[in-house]
């Protein structure tokens, strides 16, 4: 049906225009957040007692006076979108007062376990964003390669292997996510770890998740398995041991395996290979063997628009490294193809879920 065949009122047409503009300008919110983070605006407001006027903020972060009107416009975007809140001033000049929200507090918390700054920085890094400018040509390209490799000439993981600072930023991002999420997992569904004497965190990076589990369950022997270039930079805190290895080749035996945000990086065929190695490493179901997966199940979780949108946004986002976020029927297929007998999904993690997988 052509636009001329659709009999809409003027208001319908104008709303349709607004919807298109709103969609097209969605990137402005991301860039405004990135700018605020790089200017250290959340931290500056927090360290100033949690409230600042535009003039105070501009002076504190070292902006030229000519940039003050632009700063107000930046902050207006961030307040309208809910990143910051704005209060009316009681002073004579009536300047607005910017304050933190629960959302912004996740970027400035002095508690390491609540600070998501590193993972947001990685998600908004130019190396991750640039590949999407070539998405259309990537779709038309008959050669199978990732968006990231098409843009940069090497894969995301190859760049991490060759660039120490980039590798460190990835590890910091994963640790920040683990520190945040594991506190909630242990509080909301810690019983999934009961009765486990030994656990291996597969592709567990610097051990953020494993360390949290070990502290919550001191009797459990927790080990992290990851690639050599990751393990060599890992900290030693005494709670967790580290093993260098490749999950596609061999996973050491343990009562249970833990994989947080691992399977979304890989296609179905590779996921089945990893899962078969997992199955080889754990005892039978009646002996307590299981795989604990923390990942996204698209369509699960709170039935809210923001949750559903975030899930499908992230699914398209993770395509930059050929990753995928799966619906339950897609999870079921790879589980059964790998020879597992059953699973249980626990939806208590917002856009993500905990999956207990049984051999």
DSSP state for residue 203 in the 8-state scheme: T
Residue 292: strand, helix, or coil = strand
CA gap 222, 201 in Å, rounded: 7
**Of 125-139, 166-180, 257-271, 338-352, the least confident:** 166-180
Decide if pLDDT at 318 tops 60: yes
pLDDT of the residue at 355: 97
Decide if pLDDT at 233 tops 90: no
pLDDT of the residue at 161: 86
List CB contacts of 172: < 8 A, sequence separation 6 or more: 118, 122
Segment 183-195 mean pLDDT: 92
Element (H, E) at 352: strand 352-358
In 3-state terms the chain splits into helix, strand, coil percentages (rounded to 5) of 55, 15, 30
Decide if pLDDT at 356 tops 90: yes
CA gap 84, 79 in Å, rounded: 5
Residue 196 phi, psi (nearest 5): -95, 125
Segment 23-45 mean pLDDT: 95
Pick from 298, 292, 340: nearest CA to 317: 298
Q: Are 240 and 222 in contact (CB under 8 A)?
A: yes
Decide if pLDDT at 31 tops 90: yes
Strands of 221-226's sheet in order across: 241-244, 221-226, 198-202, 256-260, 290-295, 352-358, 342-349
**Of 2-16, 92-106, 312-326, 336-350, the least confident:** 2-16
Segment 343-356 mean pLDDT: 93
Q: Which residues are registered as beta bridge partners of 100?
A: 84
Segment 37-66 mean pLDDT: 94
pLDDT of the residue at 110: 63
Segment 209-232 mean pLDDT: 91
pLDDT tens readout for residues 75-115: 999 999 999 999 877 666 678 899 999 999 999 866 555 78
The CB-based long-range contact list for 341-349 (8 Å cut-off, 24+ gap) reads 341/285, 345/297, 345/300, 346/189, 346/192, 347/297, 347/300, 347/301, 348/184, 348/188, 348/189, 349/181, 349/184, 349/185, 349/188, 349/294, 349/301
Residue 200: strand, helix, or coil = strand
Decide if pLDDT at 5 tops 60: no
Segment 292-305 mean pLDDT: 91
Decide if pLDDT at 167 tops 90: no
pLDDT of the residue at 4: 54
Decide if pLDDT at 6 tops 80: no
Q: Are 293 and 302 in contact (CB under 8 A)?
A: no
Element (H, E) at 213: helix 208-216
264 as an active site residue: the answer is yes
pLDDT category of residue 8 using cuts at 50, 70 and 90? confident
pLDDT tens readout for residues 107-118: 986 655 578 999
Segment 232-259 mean pLDDT: 90
């Amino acid at each position: 049906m052509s636009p001329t065949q659709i009999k809409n009122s003027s208001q319908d047409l104008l709303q349709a225009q607004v919807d298109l503009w709103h969609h097209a300008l969605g990137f402005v919110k991301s860039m405004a957040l990135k700018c605020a983070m790089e200017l250290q605006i959340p931290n500056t407001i927090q360290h100033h007692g949690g409230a600042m006027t535009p003039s105070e903020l501009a002076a504190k972060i070292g902006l030229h006076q000519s940039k003050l009107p632009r700063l107000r416009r930046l902050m207006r975007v961030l307040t309208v979108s809910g990143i910051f809140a704005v209060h009316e001033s009681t002073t004579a000049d009536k300047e607005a007062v910017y304050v933190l929200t629960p959302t912004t507090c996740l970027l400035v918390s002095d508690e390491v376990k609540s600070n998501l700054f590193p993972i947001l920085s990685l998600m908004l890094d130019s190396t991750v964003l640039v590949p999407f400018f070539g998405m259309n040509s990537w779709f038309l390209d008959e050669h199978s390669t990732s968006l990231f490799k098409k843009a940069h000439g090497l894969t995301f993981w190859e760049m991490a292997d060759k660039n120490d600072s980039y590798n460190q930023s990835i590890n910091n991002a994963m640790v920040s996510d683990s520190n945040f999420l594991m506190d909630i997992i242990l509080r909301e569904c810690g019983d999934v770890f009961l009765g486990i004497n030994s656990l291996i965190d597969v592709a567990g990076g610097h051990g953020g998740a494993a360390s949290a589990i070990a502290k919550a369950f001191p009797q459990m022997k927790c080990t992290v398995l990851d690639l050599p270039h990751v393990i060599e930079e890992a900290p030693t805190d005494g709670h967790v041991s580290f093993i260098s290895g490749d999950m596609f080749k061999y996973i050491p035996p343990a009562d249970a395996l833990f994989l947080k945000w691992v399977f979304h990086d890989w296609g179905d065929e590779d996921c089945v290979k990893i899962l078969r190695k997992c199955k080889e490493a754990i005892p039978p179901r009646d002996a307590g063997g299981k795989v604990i997966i923390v990942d996204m199940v698209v369509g699960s979780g709170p039935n809210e628009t923001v949750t559903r949108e975030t899930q499908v946004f992230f699914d398209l986002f993770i395509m930059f490294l050929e990753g995928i976020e799966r619906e339950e029927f897609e999870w079921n297929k790879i589980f059964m193809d790998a020879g597992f007998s059953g699973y249980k999904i626990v939806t208590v993690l917002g856009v993500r879920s905990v999956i207990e997988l049984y051999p």
